[in-house]
Structure 1
Amino acid sequence: MKITVIGAGAIGGNLASKLAAAGHDVQVAGARGPEAVPAGVLESGARAEALDAAVRERDVIIMSIPFDRVPELADVLASVPDETVVIDTTNYYPHLNGRIEAVDNGQLESVRNAEALGRPLVKAWNAALAETQRTKGVPAGTPGRIAIPVAADSEKARRVAMQLVDDTGFDPYDAGVLADSWRQQPMGPAYCTELTLDEIGPALAAADPDKDTRVRDSVMERFATLGDAPTHKDVVEMNRAAHR
């Protein structure tokens, strides 16, 4: 597939590298221009490109930028055909993004982004830590393979995203329509807890919007209890412990 990743940070860089390694035609567009895309992101065959050019004639566009900046892409994506699958990997954290009233009042993260952009979105890759995505991907059929939920109103778009999740080394889980994507938002039981395909369905079903928001808003306080140099394993265990 012809894929563009907007954002060359931890998540976007991971996805660009893995999807290029899987054989896809991948372009990467960073906020500071193609010259600022890290060389390591391009080692698997992805190409740096200017944003306006990078969204032309692509099958899939993946947004991996800060949540509060998604509306800035409305003009860039206005000319993108309806059949292009646009995937949202972002998450809302008030301490990072600033308070966004609509989301604080209950609007779902990706529903807010879809309305801001004026087009349907798929929610995927948001519920796995960057380090999980970088180091834990394994071939299909590997015992204990980590699952990643995918939500979208279009079944066709959801299936496209699920195939790409598989290509990055994770079991895709059909999480239903975008209105159900709140179950994979921070910090529910299925969010960044490295669950298998058998485990992730019950975890999504156990999501509680009020509790999950309280857990999300306490994340910095909980991080402080991990000491100066928490490991990736420490962070995953912290996320799991919040729902025991």
Structure 2
Amino acid sequence: MLGAGHMGPIIARVAVEAGYQVSIAASGDPEKIALIVQVLAPGAEPLWAGDAVADADLVVLSMPVHRFMSLDPELVADKLVVDTMNYWPPVDGVVTTFDEDGYGSSEIVARRLSRSTIVKTFNHIGYHELDEERQTAGSPLRRALGVAGDDPAAVDTVAEVVEHIGYDTVRLTSLRAGRLLEPGGPVFGVPLQRVEFERALHADSITRGEGIQS
């Protein structure tokens, strides 16, 4: 986990509770986030970023987009990277690199992290909801989350983690389609079960020409 703001520790916590081994890093000394991790993500290990990433099967990016610009792409080269970030100018201000019409934020992340495999998810649910709305598989109350990426095997891997944490998944066939998950999209911040989630995406994707798969 790279990022120890609002969302990062919560993703770390739900992953630990689902049985995963999790390390978490911020931009500096892990001692500075030790108390936050102890309180919000007990069981996760605070480390320097390089140590946290070194042996990770998945690297989760959960930082403000302006801080992403200072991330060394070599740190996550050849890694499967889960992008949970949003570019939201009313909140973040204008970040020139992300202020590009016709491209989703994860497409821009993928372009900068060209040696990594990028999958987009968790960006369209609030951190409190992520913690509180988990349900066991088969529950009629189980909420769906979208998982988008250009590499089908990577999407499957990340979707399995999301499902194990406590959510159904709807798989989108490209990072371009992941724009449907972003602020202003049909499912952003909306609690939907799988069928409703798919219906909302399909209705919007007809206009945009994006693809999804369940």
- Is residue 103 of structure 1 aligned with residue 99 of structure 2? yes
Measured after TM superposition, the shift of residue 104 of structure 1 is 4.2
- Is residue 112 of structure 1 aligned with residue 108 of structure 2? yes
Instruction: Identify unmatched segments of 5+ residues in structure 2.
Output: 208-214
- Is residue 161 of structure 1 aligned with residue 187 of structure 2? no
Candidates 115, 119, 122, aligned match of 1:122: 119
Tell me the TM-score normalised to structure 1 length.
0.77
Measured after TM superposition, the shift of residue 26 of structure 1 is 0.5
Counterpart for residue 150 of structure 1: 147
- Name whichever of 132-141 and 199-208 sits farther off: 199-208
Measured after TM superposition, the shift of residue 68 of structure 1 is 2.2
The residue identity in structure 1 corresponding to 2:15 is L
**1:15-164, aligned counterparts within 5 Å?**
15-37=11-33, 38=36, 39-43=38-42, 45-73=43-71, 75=72, 77-82=73-78, 84-101=79-96, 102-118=98-114, 119-164=116-161
Aligned residues: 201
Identity of aligned residues (%): 29
Measured after TM superposition, the shift of residue 120 of structure 1 is 2.9
The residue identity in structure 2 corresponding to 1:138 is Q
- Is residue 200 of structure 1 aligned with residue 197 of structure 2? yes
Deviation digits for residues 70-100 of structure 1 (CA, Å, limit 9, x no counterpart): 2222x2x415452x31000001110222223
Separation in 1, partners of 2:184, 2:29: 32
Separation in 2, partners of 1:167, 1:40: 23
Deviation digits for residues 130-186 of structure 1 (CA, Å, limit 9, x no counterpart): 111021111111112110000011111101110111122111111221111111111
Check whether the contact 2:23–2:45 (CA below 8 A) recurs between aligned residues: yes
Mark the CA change 1:32 to 1:206 in structure 2 (over 3 Å): closer, same or farther.
Answer: farther
Check whether the contact 1:124–1:148 (CA below 8 A) recurs between aligned residues: yes
Instruction: Identify unmatched segments of 5+ residues in structure 1.
Output: 211-244
